[in-house]
Amino acid sequence: MSLVTKPTVIFPEHEVSQDQMVNVLKELFPYHPKWDTVERMIRNTQVDHRNLLSPIDQVITHPGFEYRNKLYKDHGLKMASRVAKQVLDDNKMTPNDIDMLMVVSCTGFLMPSLTSYIISDLGFRPNTKQLPVAQLGCAAGAWALNRAYEYIKAYPDHNVLLLSVEFSSLLFQPEDSKISSLISNCLFGDAVSGCIIKGAYEDGDEGYLIEGIDSFVKKDSDHYIKYDVKSTGFHFGLDKEVMHSIKDVAPIMKGLIKDECEKEINDLDFHLFHTGGRKILDELVSNLDLVEENVSKSRQSLKNHGNIASGVVLDVLNKEFESKTRKNGDTGMMAAFGPGFTAEINHGTWIKN
- Residues designated catalytic: 138
Q: Which is nearer to a copy of itself, 38 or 313 (CB)?
A: 313
Contact call for residue 340 and a copy of itself (CB under 8 A) = yes
Of residues 13, 126, 262, 293, which one binds a copy of itself by CB under 8 A? 126
Contact call for residue 180 and a copy of itself (CB under 8 A) = no
C-beta atoms surrounding 193 within 10 Å: 30
Q: Which is nearer to a copy of itself, 221 or 318 (CB)?
A: 221
Three-state SS at 97: helix
Q: Find, among 303, 298, 351, the residue nearest to 328 by Cα.
A: 351
CB of 172 to a copy of itself, least distance (A): 16
Q: Which is nearer to a copy of itself, 33 or 156 (CB)?
A: 156
C-alpha to C-alpha distance for 315 and 192, rounded to whole angstroms: 10
Q: Which is nearer to a copy of itself, 49 or 244 (CB)?
A: 244
Give, as ranges, the residues between 287 and 316 that touch a copy of itself (CB under 8 A). Answer: none
Distances (CA, A) of 270 to 98, 145, 260, 297, 299: 28, 17, 16, 10, 14
DSSP, residue by residue, 46-71: ---EEEESS-HHHHTS---HHHHHHH
Helices (H), the chain: 18-28, 35-43, 56-59, 65-90, 114-121, 140-154, 179-185, 245-261, 278-287, 296-305, 312-323
280 and 241 in contact (C-beta within 8 Å)? no
C-alpha to C-alpha distance for 199 and 208, rounded to whole angstroms: 12
CB of 44 to a copy of itself, least distance (A): 26
C-alpha to C-alpha distance for 26 and 32, rounded to whole angstroms: 8
Of residues 1, 41, 71, 131, which one binds a copy of itself by CB under 8 A? 131
Which distant-in-sequence residues (6+ apart) come within 8 Å of 63 by Cβ?
A: none
Of residues 167, 172, 216, 321, which one binds a copy of itself by CB under 8 A? 216
Contact call for residue 231 and a copy of itself (CB under 8 A) = yes
Stretch of 84-92, 182-190, 219-227, 314-322 contacting a copy of itself, by CB under 8 A: 219-227
80 and 165 in contact (C-beta within 8 Å)? yes
Letters for 55-94 (x = contact with a copy of itself by CB under 8 A, - = none) are: ---------xxx--x-------------------------
Stretch of 80-88, 201-209, 329-337, 338-346 contacting a copy of itself, by CB under 8 A: 338-346
DSSP 8-state symbol, 292: G
CB of 19 to a copy of itself, least distance (A): 31
Q: What number of chain residues touch a copy of itself (CB under 8 A)? A: 59
Of residues 74, 89, 228, 267, which one binds a copy of itself by CB under 8 A? 228
Phi-psi category of residue 51: left, alpha or beta, with phi > 0 → left and psi -120 to 50 → alpha:
beta
C-alpha to C-alpha distance for 175 and 260, rounded to whole angstroms: 48
CB of 224 to a copy of itself, least distance (A): 9
Contact call for residue 200 and a copy of itself (CB under 8 A) = no
Letters for 101-120 (x = contact with a copy of itself by CB under 8 A, - = none) are: -----x-xxxxxx-xxx-xx
192 and 52 in contact (C-beta within 8 Å)? no
Letters for 143-162 (x = contact with a copy of itself by CB under 8 A, - = none) are: x--xx--xx-xxx-------
Judged by the rule CB under 8 A, the positions of this chain that interact with a copy of itself are 64-66, 69, 106, 108-113, 115-117, 119-120, 124, 126-137, 143, 146-147, 150-151, 153-155, 214-222, 225-232, 234, 252, 339-340, 342
